[in-house]
């Protein structure tokens, strides 16, 4: 189940401009710090960063799963099942109606 949720999270995840900017800041800070450290300190820094990245990945998936469960609970309360296919079909029908009206 967790693998499925990870796949869903990856499919719907969107990086904001701010996230990209922060990623660049982290890389720049890492480069500055890495250049000032001894070999052993560099290894420790890499271990720390790897552990933190794994933690953040798990935290991100946990947050997605929580949001998914919340959305599913809301969907159950509302009753009707939501379908992306139905939404896409409705949009296509609206476009066809607009084109038909323009031709008439």
Q: Which domain holds residue 54?
A: 2-103
Write out the chain's pLDDT in tens, 104 residues: 778 888 888 888 888 899 899 999 999 999 999 889 999 999 999 999 999 999 999 999 999 999 988 888 888 888 766 666 777 787 878 888 887 887 76
- Between CA 61 and CA 7 the distance in angstroms is 10
Cβ-based neighbours of 30, under 8 Å, separated by 6 or more: 45, 49
- Between CA 35 and CA 98 the distance in angstroms is 61
Q: CA-based diameter of the chain, in Å? A: 76
Q: Residue 52's pLDDT is what?
A: 92
Q: Residue 97's pLDDT is what?
A: 83
- How many domains in the chain? 1
- Between CA 77 and CA 26 the distance in angstroms is 42
């Amino acid at each position: 189940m967790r693998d499925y949720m990870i796949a869903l999270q990856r499919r719907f995840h969107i990086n904001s401009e701010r996230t990209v900017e922060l990623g660049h800041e982290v890389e720049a800070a890492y480069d500055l710090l890495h250049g000032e450290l001894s070999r052993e300190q560099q290894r420790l820094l890499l271990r720390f960063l790897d552990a933190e990245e794994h933690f953040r990945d798990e935290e991100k998936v946990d947050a997605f799963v929580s949001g998914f469960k919340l959305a599913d609970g809301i969907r159950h309360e509302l009753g009707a099942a939501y379908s992306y296919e139905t939404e896409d079909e409705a949009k296509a029908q609206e476009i066809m109606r607009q084109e038909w009206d323009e031709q008439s």
